[in-house]
Amino acid sequence: MKGHVGHAKGLEVDIRLMRNDGKLAGTDYRSKPYSRELTQDLVNALRNHPNVVKILFNDPNVQGVQYYPGHDDHLHVIARP
């Protein structure tokens, strides 16, 4: 898994963004079905976990995340071992 070493070790996970239409499908933060409010709630819950050290995501209006290229359509959560 080139470029995904943390995923292979179980320390990183990608999570689809929350939607406002209830569908189980992908979206990005610029799309109409994207729910910034629900995504912020998810980020807040993840940040409260003691092992979560960083969340990569590109919506500039979501607090508690760090910009990283290629992360417009998912949260990339990094945990400590």
Give the start-to-end residue ranges of the domains of the chain: 5-79
3-class DSSP state for residue 30? coil
CA distances from 41 to 3, 28, 56, 66, 72 (A): 28, 16, 15, 16, 17
Nearest to 75 by CA among 18, 23, 21, 25: 18
Q: So what's the pLDDT on residue 26?
A: 96
Q: So what's the pLDDT on residue 1?
A: 45
Q: So what's the pLDDT on residue 11?
A: 85
Q: So what's the pLDDT on residue 55?
A: 98
Helix (H) or strand (E) segment spanning residue 46: helix 36-47
User: Could you report the average pLDDT of every consecutive run of 10 residues in the chain (81 residues)?
Assistant: 58 95 96 98 98 97 96 95 86
